[in-house]
């Protein structure tokens, strides 16, 4: 018999982060059922372009929401109550001119009067549905991070932002692909159904790694005998685009694997 620890609420996690009492290796599996979000903080002058980037490329960049006003680090209640985006994620990366300059436990010093934080959906939201449907993602089975690839697919440009789509990969048998598509299709705020799959899909995306051994981000996976790679849009895309744009100002984001845990539930990102 296993002992279940007291289940943490999203607010518990955020308050622990805020107090500097959170030291888990990642947020994977934390507060199952609640949305974990990618975080990107930009000066307000880029906000319209960033919203347009997301609106024009909703599959890799599903915008869940943003802070309530420039300089105010709180979120709309439908996302998270009593949340300060400067302190409530476990770890932050700070970039200047597209270069990582620091990893910090909060961004109180970096946050400006005109800062706006944007929250982007994450595939964690649909992975429980895959598992519940008998299609547990391989990287969960083998306790690794999901493999991610930079594709050759250009995003539709938006103001100062342009770049390429990043995708995550989970291997399945060809006979399982339609079910994987059906299970993830409703999660429109978390990339939805796969963008492409199989050898033809890999070629269309410009990915040459049939066995899942050489991802650009995350960790190698195992594409086993008879399986094909299945590719979903990935929330690393907008962060990658923002870094590639080499904005001169200081830009902040969550540190990989250390997402902001929202009150919002996974089913709320579904149609």
Q: List interacting residues with a second copy (CB under 8 A).
A: 52, 55-59, 152-154, 156-159, 162, 181, 185, 188, 192-196, 201, 204-205, 233
Cα-flanking dihedrals φ and ψ of residue 198, to 5°? 75, 180
Q: Which is nearer to a second copy, 9 or 156 (CB)?
A: 156
Q: How far is the CB of 149 from a second copy (least distance, A)?
A: 14
Task: Give the tokens for residue 67.
Answer: 């802070």
Q: Which is nearer to a second copy, 65 or 90 (CB)?
A: 65
Q: How far is the CB of 246 from a second copy (least distance, A)?
A: 16
CA distances from 252 to 6, 50, 64, 109, 227 (A): 32, 14, 17, 11, 38
| C-alpha dihedral sign at 98, 76, 84, 267 | negative
Q: How far is the CB of 158 from a second copy (least distance, A)?
A: 7
Q: How far is the CB of 186 from a second copy (least distance, A)?
A: 10
> Distance between CA 14 and CA 236 in Å, rounded?
22
Q: Which is nearer to a second copy, 145 or 162 (CB)?
A: 162
Q: Which is nearer to a second copy, 60 or 65 (CB)?
A: 60
> Distance between CA 85 and CA 65 in Å, rounded?
12
Q: How far is the CB of 154 from a second copy (least distance, A)?
A: 4
Q: How far is the CB of 39 from a second copy (least distance, A)?
A: 23
Q: Which is nearer to a second copy, 173 or 188 (CB)?
A: 188
Q: Which is nearer to a second copy, 158 or 262 (CB)?
A: 158
Q: How far is the CB of 177 from a second copy (least distance, A)?
A: 11
Q: Which is nearer to a second copy, 38 or 237 (CB)?
A: 237
């Amino acid at each position: 018999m296993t002992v279940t620890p007291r289940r943490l609420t999203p607010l518990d996690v955020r308050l622990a982060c805020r107090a500097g009492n959170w030291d888990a290796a990642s947020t994977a599996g934390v507060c199952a059922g609640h949305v974990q979000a990618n975080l990107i903080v930009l000066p307000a002058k880029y906000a319209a372009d960033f919203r347009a980037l997301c609106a024009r490329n909703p599959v890799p960049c599903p915008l869940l929401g943003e802070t309530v006003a420039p300089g105010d680090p709180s979120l709309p209640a439908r996302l998270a109550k009593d949340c300060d985006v400067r302190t409530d994620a476990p770890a932050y990366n700070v970039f200047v001119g597209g270069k990582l300059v620091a990893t910090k436990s909060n961004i109180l010093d970096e946050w400006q009067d005109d800062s706006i934080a944007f929250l982007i959906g994450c595939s964690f939201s649909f992975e429980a549905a895959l598992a519940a449907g008998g299609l547990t993602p391989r990287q969960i089975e083998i306790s690794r991070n999901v493999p991610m690839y930079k594709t050759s697919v250009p995003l539709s440009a938006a103001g100062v932002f342009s770049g390429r789509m990043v995708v995550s990969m989970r291997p399945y048998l060809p006979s399982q692909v339609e079910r994987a598509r059906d299970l993830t299709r409703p999660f429109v705020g978390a990339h939805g159904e796969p963008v492409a799959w199989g050898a033809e899909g890999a070629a269309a995306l410009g990915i040459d790694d049939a066995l899942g051994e050489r991802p650009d981000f995350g960790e190698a996976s195992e594409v086993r005998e008879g399986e094909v790679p299945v590719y979903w849009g990935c929330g690393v895309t907008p962060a990658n685009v923002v870094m590639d744009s080499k904005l001169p100002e200081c830009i902040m984001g969550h540190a990989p694997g250390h997402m902001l845990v929202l009150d919002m539930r996974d089913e709320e990102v579904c149609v």
